[in-house]
A and B are shown apart, each in its own frame.
Chain A
């Protein structure tokens, strides 16, 4: 599946390639940066453009960018070649012959340029070059991909564990809503708009733990009474969402301070917190499943529950554990969601369980349990997000997007099956 993700990256990078305008503001700022980087001492710069032409705008952009820097003395010349000649002679007379000339567009064709270069051999003439840029690969876009999927991806870790035991958890979407509502309600009660950081974290903690407890109860029902996970978690799904509506009377809770957005939109040491959350959670999940006893037990329960039991695996405890973890993940996911939106609402997280399950399955985990990897789920989540993002960039109609997403998920899973059977 890594190959599929890689292929999608390449595909969308290519499909969103754009000629970056040679006289646009972006090119101007890039050029200015390059120039400033190359300058070592005070420099006289002429920025030349034609009136009411793109080159004129460009000159304006560059002049504005360069003008902020003390190293540079900028003179804008917007007009005709004769204006340039006049400005040049004036500067020469004053002893401020420019060493750099920034031109663009049609100005490049002015014959005066070669004349000036003959008169002043040290003169450098700089102009922007056209460039192909992929909208998909821009930093802002890549971050958007992460932000869009972080809640689903975090929940998917817990879901992976549940599915590995051969179970399923349909309640996660409702738990997101319940968690967001509980967290924001707690914060509202603890100070509302004036609440401090401590209150926010307390709110998050309460919400997450509550969802974990709900998960544990579901797990207990599955383990002890052998109620099918589908039914148990379906019931929780209904109850949790109902509870969320009851708690809020159907309204959103927005009386929370702006600082709540630190988790979902902030950054630490320059790295967005959402990225950090993903890294921390997925590394922890991977290490746990691969390198600890309980991780191994989870695989065994999914592979053959009876054989595991007869080999001394504490099957009931393992089952309760995985649903507990899934609840915690859904709870924390709800907190991230509340943080991203700065709101808690009972209608959040609708249909999230489907995306979460899709991420797990696309990532290679078998729905019958016993095989799959946590890191595979991360890739599955990214595949979904990348496809949605790419379709947005390409301007797909939102209904069409849904069709395509479904088709691609199906295709990705079939491809994976074929590859497995082939080896």
Chain B
């Protein structure tokens, strides 16, 4: 099938012209134009709050433009509901999948458009069709398996299949690779290329700039609700791109740092927890940033949770500053000066329905209370200090944590642990779902903390991040520690990946 790549002579598959959207107090989209051609991948870039979500929600039927028009294959359309979106051939795959975990793959595929026979659902008919689609896309799973039992990567492909099954012509993917390992991302790209071959247009949102290089044909940058620029991916350099997104040039993606390494702060030996963590031992010195790399399921998060007391291990010893500590609960770990910034900050790091100040104070209330009596003013003042230091943007003291942007939420989590004066800080995917500008700030903060003599561990699935920030890199696979590498200018992503996929040495 011939791919239609030539933009100027062919009618765009999708066109959004002159889009405006206003919410109380903010002009979310200001004269935005977007065009998407059949068979291409268009990357939609921009910092959090730039307007990307609002734009794709319009395609999904969740919002309507205040001004402007949407044209699909040369015809004006109005998308005022999810059903309407489906009818015009638009499918949106959000970051939080719309799959029901308790229902099977085929049940999810036909959700809302069940095949019926005399009023009853035709389960075997659905199953047959589901199999057909799964084969088509190359995903080898049983259509009767519950979606909740699938891996995240598999769930994502199911979402794509859902779109195909309703003859979607336009597919929008919001941060699809955020929860995938490098291998799974490659497979995803293969699927996307297959979609291109079928003439489907894909809008791809991601903060991972090197992915854009691999998968996208063209890109479009939004900033503060406005169209900033766009064009063929091959023609726009990384620095120009960052500058368009952020509005200022960042010297590098990763801030420079003077490394002074001191005494050993954290040592763990023989950590064991079922098949998730097997005989893991390592140490971290003051002022060091150790990057933990590995595929999803390698046991990195599980190891960190053991050290932070979130889970109970079967055996193993933990030393902090030379003293053996017993960690039976998060309280013990916190008391020992170890803190964990969870991978899932919304579920585990914050109480979204409470204010930032309340979240900030939660592990630190003993500092702000005497004999059980709380001193609100003291707590607020402390929070203000960190708010200014970390540049946390809060609309007011009562703003709920759930309303903050990803970057600011992460900063609130960071602030609450900084106030604890922890010695060891375990960052699990610290920049997931955070835009370029805020990422840089987080990196700077990590560097500063290392400079103050703290021991930092950073678990990350983004190899550039691992290479850009770590002094030492530890690689895990299948619950075991399979490699430890000093991070020098010679170390490459391939080295790390090779280790991550190697078979672990038999014990």
Contact = CB atoms under 8 A, between A and B. Distances in A.
B351 A296 contact: no
Nearest to A371: B353
Interface in B169-214: none
B354 interface: yes
Contact residues on A (Cβ < 8 Å of other chain), bracket: 20 to 34
A291 B353 contact: no
A400 interface: no
A370 B353 contact: yes
A251 B312 CA distance: 52
Interface residues of B, number: 29
Given A311-B330, A314-B331, A306 B348 contact: yes
A422 B340 CA distance: 38
Contact of B362 (A294, A300, A306, A314): A300
Given A304-B352, A307-B349, A310-B348, A291 B363 contact: no
A292 B373 CA distance: 5
A355 B354 CA distance: 28
Nearest to A287: B373
B372 A299 contact: no
Given A291-B373, A293-B365, A296-B365, A310 B349 contact: yes
The majority secondary structure among interface residues of chain A is helix
Contact of B342 (A292, A310, A312, A371): A310
Interface in A257-310: 291-297, 299-300, 303-304, 306-310
A309 B347 contact: no
B366 interface: yes
A345 interface: no
Given A293-B374, A310-B342, A312-B334, A370 B351 contact: yes
B416 interface: yes
A304 B347 CA distance: 8
Nearest to B366: A293
A134 B188 CA distance: 75
Contact of B372 (A293, A304, A310, A371): A293
Contacts, number: 72
Given A309-B330, A310-B330, A311-B330, A291 B374 contact: yes
B31 to A, nearest CB: 31
Nearest to A368: B353
Nearest to B420: A312
A27 B373 CA distance: 54
A303 B353 CA distance: 6
B301 to A, nearest CB: 13
A244 interface: no
Interface centre among B331, B347, B351, B373 (most CB of A within 10 A): B351
Contacts of A180: none
Contacts of A299: 354, 358
Interface in A67-92: none
Nearest to B352: A304
B354 A294 contact: no
A318 interface: no
B374 A296 contact: yes
Contacts of B358: 296, 299-300
Contacts of B260: none
A370 B353 CA distance: 7
Contacts of A155: none
Given A300-B354, A304-B351, A307-B351, A313 B372 contact: no
Contacts of A296: 358, 361-362, 365, 374
A310 B374 CA distance: 21
A312 B351 contact: no
A300 B351 contact: yes
A417 to B, nearest CB: 15
Given A291-B374, A292-B374, A293-B374, A310 B310 contact: yes
Contacts of A314: 331
Contacts of A308: 351, 362
Nearest to A304: B351
A308 B353 CA distance: 12
A307 B347 contact: yes
B369 interface: yes
Nearest to B376: A291
B424 interface: no
Contacts of B414: none
Contacts of B352: 303-304
Contacts of B349: 307, 310
Interface in A158-205: none
B414 to A, nearest CB: 13
Contacts of A371: 353
B350 interface: yes
Contacts of B330: 309-312
Contacts of A297: 365
B372 A370 contact: no
Given A296-B361, A307-B350, 11 more contacts: A291-B374, A292-B373, A294-B372, A297-B365, A307-B347, A307-B348, A307-B349, A310-B349, A311-B416, A312-B331, A370-B354
8 contacts: A291-B373, A293-B365, A307-B347, A308-B351, A308-B362, A312-B334, A312-B362, A371-B353
